[in-house]
Structure 1
Amino acid sequence: MAESSEVNAMFDHLEDLEKSRTDWKIKVRVTRLWPTSNAESGVVKGFNLILLDDDNYHLHAYVYPDTWKAIGKDVKEGGVYIIESFQVRDTYGRLRPVSTNVDLRFLNSTKIQPVEDDIMIPLHKFEILEVGDLIEPGGQSEVDENPEYALDVIGMIEEWEPASRVPTRYGERETLRFKLSNGRVSYGVCLWGELAVTVSKEYESEKKKPVVAIIASSKLTTFRQELQIGALPSTRIYLNLNIEAVELFRKRLEAEGYKSPVVARRATITPTPATPVLMFSLRHLTEKITSLAEKSTVMVTFKISDIEDKENWWYYACQSCHEEVEKVERKYKCTVCPRSFSYGEKRFRLLVLADDNSFASTVLLTDRVVKRLEQTTVTNLMNSSKEAPISEMPSVLKNIVGKTVTVKISLSKSNVDGDSNIYRAVDLCEGSVSGKKAAEYSPITKFPSFDQSQTDDYVVCLETPTSSDSVSKKIKMEP
């Protein structure tokens, strides 16, 4: 019989969270946070967080003020935290900040523990669309003012107008206007309040011009018969961010002869206990496979004897579901979502021969496993060996041959039916990772935070998160 063992060395994947339990344990970076507040009174109804794990999967989380006070923790944007015990719900509503189908609701029993930075969790995650791809040529003539998802848009800043103060029904407010362009198509952008002030200061301090901007969580609107990109409470704007998508966008426009215009114009729940993860040998796994179910997970320890396929060591993945995408002209099309993106996410995929002295089998090491083993990313490896063809596997990956690892294997229907003996390793025990290398990083600018003291004496409005003023520095609540 297989030996039973509960594994506590690993964290749950954000991608695997579902509604049947609350006793989850995740390790994530808070990439964004903002309040949901009443535009007129300023009363904060709740807090929103975008959580990102080391598999580059992100989810939206929501916290009521009284719940945050009960948790009693200080959370900063950009920080890494272990979070335990929370509710998982189906997403609903429009203009959601990420395209995942579940979100998290923190409970009074939720535990949040700050930990040291983890270089394998990226600083940012975007589902990027080029500004020229917002509406297809000859496509729709009317804009959906309330689409299902918010947009992450990339483009060059043009026709910059300095921030100014204008009268509104809420009193005088700062406003900022500019165009976002790809050299052929441009959209107006109008920002208000604290977001306008912050972006204005950052733009003026940027030395590299023209400036490439990523407007995260935005919407497409129509103003005076002109298409514009509008901001939401969740909107953040990143200028000249040090990530591959920005560099590729800039290089492509430069290759096409892009020149920036010189003249500017003005115009409480009982949790279901987690199922113990069983430890199998490769022989036991093969013999007992028909007694297991699809998507069940098992632990296996083996030695990596060889790398089977040295050519297909990486692939372009969907930014949302991580399935392989097809490149059609300049776009990457996912048939699972289905969605199209301007950029494909590069992810590891290594087919290896596994041997545990009882049996030998073929195992597919996913991106999460290889990143943990090598402490690097596909992009970093390509950048460090630019002279070699991108299809040629970097020699550093061959260092995993001979290593003994303990992995979590997720069984497919083909495995259970006996049609395939290639097993998919979806996670790696922390004990299998040794040494540290530099991972793909982006510069940290200003990171807001909020703590439990900010929720004192506030009315909790039990409503779905709705629109509010954008906040980009610190969430403030007035007594």
Structure 2
Amino acid sequence: MTAEEGGGGEARRGEEGAEVVKEEGEADSKSHDADEVAGGMGIDRGGKWSRIAMLCKTLSEIRPGKELWKITARITRLWDAILRSSGEILSIDMILIDEKGTMVHGVINKAYIQKFKTLIQEDNVYVIANVRVTPAAKTYRSVENDKVVNFLPTTTIQKIKDTDDIPKYSFKFCNIDMLSKRINIDTYLSDVIGIAAYIGLVEETRTQFGVSKIRDIVLLIES
């Protein structure tokens, strides 16, 4: 994707060879002209980003079956998916959230980690183009969404100026009744909030993956 397609500004190469575009705050005196060339993708001097949003899809609009989706979202959570038996990093995973508060699981597979690792950071807002949307796994979904955003070799990512229009966090806390309905149902990972009434010591236990460390915690949560 060229600088014109990606939102104006001066194109450069990141350390891993992935194309990135200067953030608005880094732009030189020609950045205003670049905004016009980019078809309104740049952020104007007032910090408004509505033009960006108009050219991107919301996370509720994207669907499996098309690779060239362009989205604007915040990385609200970021972690490494690790194979417990060997410690091998399988992917970089993230939770993306948009201005509607919609959340979706994002994945950078092992083959592309070096390309994108230095270009993403938790809490930043990005325009991400050329991503593939696939159905989510049937079990242990990190958010209540049946889609996953997958980074491709052709995916481009542009950090843009932060905006209060995109929430920094979003949770769906479960009370006791909701948790009771999820017993033996492993579709979603559940969010809870409460008071830690007891925190046990770290102990070792043997599982099918080898020796793991566990800690018992008792939470007092809303009924």
TM over 0.5, yes or no? yes
Partner SS, residue 192 of structure 2: strand
**Cα shift at 1:126:** 1.4
Q: Confirm or deny that 1:27 pairs with 2:72.
A: yes
- Aligned-partner Cα distance in 1 for 2:221–2:64: 42
Q: Confirm or deny that 1:121 pairs with 2:158.
A: no
Q: Confirm or deny that 1:57 pairs with 2:102.
A: yes
Pick the aligned partner of 2:193 from 147, 154, 165.
154
**Cα shift at 1:117:** 1.7
**Cα shift at 1:159:** 2.7
- Aligned-partner Cα distance in 2 for 1:100–1:33: 17
Q: Confirm or deny that 1:99 pairs with 2:138.
A: no
Q: Confirm or deny that 1:182 pairs with 2:221.
A: yes
**Cα shift at 1:60:** 0.6
Counterpart of 2:7? none
Counterpart of 1:108? 153
Q: Aligned in 2, Cα 1:134/1:168: closer, same or farther, shift over 3 Å?
A: closer
- Show CA shifts across 1:401-421 (max 9, x none): xxxxxxxxxxxxxxxxxxxxx
**Cα shift at 1:121:** 1.0
Q: Is the 8 A contact 1:131 1:182 kept in 2?
A: yes
- Aligned-partner Cα distance in 2 for 1:32–1:72: 14
**Cα shift at 1:168:** 4.1
**Cα shift at 1:103:** 1.1
Partner SS, residue 118 of structure 2: coil
- Show CA shifts across 1:264-285 (max 9, x none): xxxxxxxxxxxxxxxxxxxxxx
Counterpart of 1:67? 112
Q: Confirm or deny that 1:17 pairs with 2:62.
A: yes
Residue identity in the other structure for 1:118: T
Q: Is the 8 A contact 1:62 1:105 kept in 2?
A: yes
Partner SS, residue 50 of structure 1: strand
Q: Is the 8 A contact 2:203 2:215 kept in 1?
A: no
**Cα shift at 1:160:** 3.8
Q: Is the 8 A contact 2:112 2:153 kept in 1?
A: yes
TM-score (norm. length: structure 2): 0.66
Q: Aligned in 2, Cα 1:45/1:72: closer, same or farther, shift over 3 Å?
A: closer
- Show CA shifts across 1:297-338 (max 9, x none): xxxxxxxxxxxxxxxxxxxxxxxxxxxxxxxxxxxxxxxxxx
- Show CA shifts across 1:70-125 (max 9, x none): 34633222221111111011223211111212111110111112222211111111
Percent identity, please.
Answer: 24
Partner SS, residue 135 of structure 1: helix
- Show CA shifts across 1:12-38 (max 9, x none): 111100134322221111111222221
Pick the aligned partner of 1:166 from 197, 203, 214.
203
**Cα shift at 1:171:** 6.0
Pick the aligned partner of 2:82 from 37, 43, 46.
37
TM-score (norm. length: structure 1): 0.33
1:313-462 to structure 2, matched below 5 A, reads none
Runs of 5+ consecutive residues of structure 1 not aligned to the other structure: 1-5, 186-479
**Cα shift at 1:135:** 1.6
**Cα shift at 1:158:** 1.4
Q: Aligned in 2, Cα 1:71/1:134: closer, same or farther, shift over 3 Å?
A: closer
Q: Aligned in 2, Cα 1:73/1:172: closer, same or farther, shift over 3 Å?
A: closer
**Cα shift at 1:69:** 2.0
Pick the aligned partner of 1:80 from 95, 100, 125.
125
Q: Aligned in 2, Cα 1:26/1:94: closer, same or farther, shift over 3 Å?
A: same
- Aligned-partner Cα distance in 1 for 2:174–2:158: 34
Runs of 5+ consecutive residues of structure 2 not aligned to the other structure: 1-38, 42-50
Residue identity in the other structure for 1:113: Q
Q: Aligned in 2, Cα 1:122/1:168: closer, same or farther, shift over 3 Å?
A: same
Partner SS, residue 69 of structure 1: helix
* Rg larger for: 1
Counterpart of 1:470? none
Q: Is the 8 A contact 1:156 1:182 kept in 2?
A: yes
How many aligned positions are there? Answer: 170
